[in-house]
Structure 1
Amino acid sequence: MFSLTYEFRLLPTKQQIEIFQDWLEINRKVYNYALAERKDWYKSRSCQINACSLHSEYIIPVNAPRPTYASQSKSLTAAKELYPDLKRVQSQVLQQTLKRLENAFTSMWERDFGFPRFKKVGQLRSFVFPQLGKEPLKPGLIKLPVIGWVKFRQSRDIPTDAAVKQARIVKRSSGWYVMLTLQWDVSVPQPLPHGDALGVDVGLMSFIAASNGFCVKRPKFFVDLQRKLKLLQQRVSRKKLGSNNRRKTQAKVARLHERIANTRKDFHWKIAHQLCDQAKTIFVEDLNLVGLSRGMLGKHCLDAGWGQFFQVLEQCCFKRGVYFQKVDSRKTSQICPNCGTETGKKDLSERVHVCENCGYTTDRDVAAAQVVLNRGCAAVGQTVKMLDEGKFTRTPVSQESHGFKSKRANAVF
């Protein structure tokens, strides 16, 4: 089975927007109630046996089972008789909200995520239709259960041989969007290493440095607009709580954040396509992105968005038939890519790699990308053909904005 998610902008009427907002608020209350039920059960089991806290204790019977998705779904059916507002929302949509909470607890246990938090007003921004009726799509129209036909901007064709598995309605500062998950009953083979190979190193000076000398300077998406964002946030803090002016200013802050995120993602896709144009096999570093984001330069690491870039590059490689693989990132800047000698640590101010053993000189980031390429080729069990009888080309280093002149020949398997 092969699935893809298509995103389109919705064009709902005023009445449909009111329904969307009402459903989001009801789903938020269901999420918070289910989370409170689970949290109370956990707190009742965490109190000490021989002492009581000075504030309060959560007393729940010993034989009370732990709240799960199945038990809370049954309770949701009974709650509809006590709270008629729940009947306004399609039943499967509420069940998906409970499943979302279950996934949050699973991520806490298995992926070391934090404990799930309560959603404030406006924080829950999406709900899911896990099933759609027969023939839910028409040109520029989608039929949602209970709501009916909703217009959307069909920016690209939807394959007729794909089955629509689910639809997610998302609220953003720029409007409403629908994410359609399409599924094909086909098996798509994964690309194998072939053609020209390329190693990619990411950094803060150069966003990427490729093993062939291709370098791109890092744009500062958040830092460039940080002053404007600070002014808007100051205006929000000076407005009266609950006032219309405060909500309008908060909307401006949200639009600016969305603009930063969209600009960053567009840049990542453009760079990914440029890399796929140059090679048929791409190797990148397997970085500890969480550790980098918590360091002294965490703000700049998060602004670069390396994690999103790797995801975008992997998707782009899959779509274009390019092999993608991550390799070990340790000591990539401390090893000479020409002779393999370990040169030792370099200061961040030292931007040129000079090997005392073989005399190979190139940009520091390009040398790290070439080390990534060597490790990737060794991991897939292939050899790399280079210029000058197996050696890198040695040309003087040039501090041009687009990269250094020392380039490595395209690696051919």
Structure 2
Amino acid sequence: MLLTYCYRIKPSVEQIVIMDSWLELLRRHWNDALGQRLDWLKRTRSPIDRYSIVSEPIGEIPERVDYYTQQAALKETKQLFPEYKNIWAESQQFNLQRLDKAWKRWQFPSHDAQRGGRPRFKKPGELRSFVFPRVNCPKAGAFVENGILKLSRIGAMPIRLHRPLPDGFTLKQATVVKKADGWYVCVSMQDESVPSPLPLDNIKTVVGIDVGLKEFLTTSSGETVPVVKPYRQVQNHLARQQRFLSRKQKGSNGYKKQQNKIARIHQRVGRIRENFHYNTAHNLVNRYDLIAVEDLNLRGLARTRLGKSILDVAWGSFISKLEAVAVKRGVHVVKVNPAGTTVECSSCGAKVPKTLSIRTHECTRCYAVIDRDENAARNILQRALNAVGLIVPAGGGLGDTQPVKPEAWGWNGVQLSLF
């Protein structure tokens, strides 16, 4: 299992100057390495028999540029620019590894045919972190011990361990991050033992959840979690602060102070949202052994007229956190196709079309009357149980009823409804 804990650090003024200079030098190195890659791509993208002397540069075709050629050129870079000798060598190498990873995401599609965008040149201040790939080992550049963080060529500084490092984990790398309110270090640690998922025979409590904008989520048992929209609450204040920024001279001290003020507002919004997501995820994982959620097309939903509200509640971020918390506890999280979960009746399966303004599900076949979100949550749970091969005894409902495998009943091919 791989975990990352983020702690606040308190560097001195001299150490802040050193770290700021490292970020600026690494930013310039990133831009130079990216320029080499784009130049090579531009010179080699046309076939040799159809080379255009109008739109293509003339000259020798350069050798292929990749991580290994750029890493080998670090020695020459330090000779031409001696200030790079002050940066820890592994941090420079990791900076090139980041660029290589971004380049490959753009050039080669992933297993699900998704490609990243083209890597961009970074403006001053856009590169906000550097990495020490090894921690607490003989050749490491970072050491964490007794509440002190020691960074090679930077010095020792206090680290606020608001929660202790877990026992049995090996510290792997440390990432120093500059945020709007100060400096932080993200410590990644690894343990070979991975919690095994709870066996299906031992699953006792199950729940389906339907996310929404009226209520953040509704469970299949009828419980709701109120929605939290931190961006909506501060958007007027944020717009006013951005107007103040537009009236200041770009690059002045007042401009930079206002920029930091706006960044702190965004940071507070993100922290409120993240805290709400983790609290909700832990509450669900503590109570249930299997959680059924929707596999939503969030990119498509974000393009609708409700896009700002959907991005504000951040369903995708919540489901990712829920999966991460569930893995640590051995709880199952099952994603199902959400198509038709709102219009299908959870009692009889009849189709009951309804607009977004209709908040109650009223079935014309079995005359069931239930909240539309609770009806969708029940359908989501039923699909998840079918996917993993579990069913609930007829008439048992949810509650404390334990779902069982179909073969334990001597199942003869007739699927019993969950409700």
- What TM-score do you get using the length of structure 1 for normalisation? 0.90
The corresponding residue for 2:335 is 326
The residue number in structure 2 matching 1:403 is none
- Cα distance in 2 for partners of 1:209, 1:189 equals 28
| Contact 1:353–1:364, Cα closer than 8 Å, also in 2 | yes
Report the AA paired with residue 33 of structure 1.
D
**Corresponding residue for residue 104 of structure 1:** 102
Match of 1:91 in 2: 89
Q: Aligned pair 1:284/2:282, yes or no?
A: no
Distance 1:215 1:142, change over 3 A: same
1:145, distance to aligned residue in structure 2 (A): 2.3
Tell me if structure 1 keeps the 8 A contact 2:350–2:365.
Answer: yes
Q: 1:261–1:251: structure 2 CA closer, same or farther, 3 Å change rule?
A: same
Pairing 1:13-52 to 2, within 5 Å after superposition: 13-46=12-45, 49=50, 51-52=52-53
Question: What is the CA-CA distance between 1:411 and the residue it aligns to?
Answer: 5.1
Residue 415 of structure 2 corresponds to which residue in structure 1? Answer: none
The one-letter amino acid paired with 2:116 is F
Question: Is structure 2 residue 222 aligned with structure 1 residue 213?
Answer: yes
The answer as to whether partners of 2:245 and 2:259 remain within 8 angstroms in 1 is: yes
Instruction: Report deviation, 1:355.
Output: 1.2
Against the structure 1 CA distance between its residues 202 and 161, is the aligned structure 2 distance closer, same or farther, given a 3 Å change threshold? same
SS at match of 2:210: strand
1:118-174 deviations in whole A, cap 9, x for unaligned?
Answer: 111111111110013438222211222222322110111113432211000111001
Q: Verify: 1:381 aligned to 2:389, yes or no.
A: yes
In structure 2, the CA distance between the partners of 1:160 and 1:410, relative to structure 1 (3 Å rule), is closer
**Which AA in structure 2 matches 1:145?**
S
TM-fit CA distance, 1:293: 1.6
Of 205-214 and 273-282, more deviation after overlay is shown by 273-282
- Is 2:402 aligned against 1:412? yes
Once superposed, what is the RMSD of the aligned Cα atoms?
A: 1.8
Q: 2:249 aligns with which of 237, 240, 252?
A: 240
In structure 2, stretches of 5+ residues that fail to align are 404-419
Is 1:123 matched up with 2:121?
A: no
| Aligned equivalents of 1:104, 1:175: Cα separation in 2 | 27
What is residue 138 of structure 1 aligned with on the other side? 145
Q: Does 1:356 align with 2:325?
A: no
Question: In the alignment, which residue of structure 2 is the partner of 1:309?
Answer: 318
Task: Provide the rounded CA distance (Å) in 2 between the counterparts of 1:20 and 1:259.
Answer: 24
Greater shift, 16-25 or 157-166, is seen at 157-166
Answering whether residue 4 of structure 2 is matched by residue 5 of structure 1, we say yes
Q: Is 2:217–2:226's contact at 8 Å kept on the other side of the alignment?
A: yes
Q: Which residue of 2 aligns with 1:400?
A: none
Residue 266 in structure 1 maps to residue 265 in structure 2: no
Per-residue CA deviation, residues 161-192 of structure 1 (Å, 9 max, x unaligned), is 32211000111001111111112232432334
In structure 1, C-alpha distance between the alignment counterparts of 2:117 and 2:382, rounded to whole Å: 38
In structure 1, distance between residues paired with 2:68 and 2:218: 50
Q: For 1:153, give the aligned amino acid.
A: R
Sequence identity of aligned pairs in percent? Answer: 38
Amino acid at match of 2:103: F
Q: How far 1:57 moved relative to its partner?
A: 3.2
Change (3 A) 1:52 1:210: farther
Point out which structure has higher relative CO (alpha carbons under 8 A, 6+ apart).
Answer: 1
Letter in 1 for 2:66: T
Match in the other structure for 2:73: 75
Superposition pairs of residues 182-193 of structure 1, within 5 angstroms: 182-193=189-200
Q: 1:24 to 1:157 in 2, by over 3 A?
A: same
Q: Within 2, Cα distance between the matches of 1:233 and 1:214?
A: 39
SS in 1 for 2:73: helix
Q: CA deviation at 1:270?
A: 1.3
CA contact (8 A) 1:332 1:372 kept: yes
Q: 1:77 to 1:377 in 2, by over 3 A?
A: same
Which residue is equivalent to 2:208? 199
Could you tell me whether the CA contact under 8 Å between 1:163 and 1:182 is conserved in 2? yes
21-30 vs 292-301, greater mean Cα deviation:
292-301
Structure 1: gaps spanning 5 or more residues: 393-407
For 2:59 and 2:269, locate their aligned partners in 1 and report how far apart those are by CA, in whole Å.
Answer: 47
Q: What is the CA distance between 1:52 and its match in structure 2?
A: 4.6
CA drift at 1:60: 5.3
Q: TM-score under structure 2 normalisation?
A: 0.89
Counterpart in the other structure of 2:414: none
Paired residue for 1:173? 180
Q: Distance in 2 between matches of 1:167 and 1:191?
A: 32
Q: Secondary structure at the match of 1:36?
A: helix
Q: How do 1:220-239 and structure 2 match up within 5 A?
A: 220-239=229-248
Compute the displacement of 1:360 (Å).
1.4
Q: Please name the residue that 2:260 is paired with.
A: 251
The alignment partner of 2:242 has SS state of helix
- The one-letter code sitting in structure 1 at the alignment partner of 2:192 is D
User: How far apart, in 2, do the equivalents of 1:411 and 1:7 lie?
Assistant: 40
CA distance in 2, matches of 1:123, 1:228: 24
The question of whether the paired residues in 2 share the 8 Å contact of 1:229 and 1:253 is answered with yes
Native 8 Å contact 1:199 1:370 kept in 2:
yes
Q: Which AA in structure 1 matches 2:258? A: T
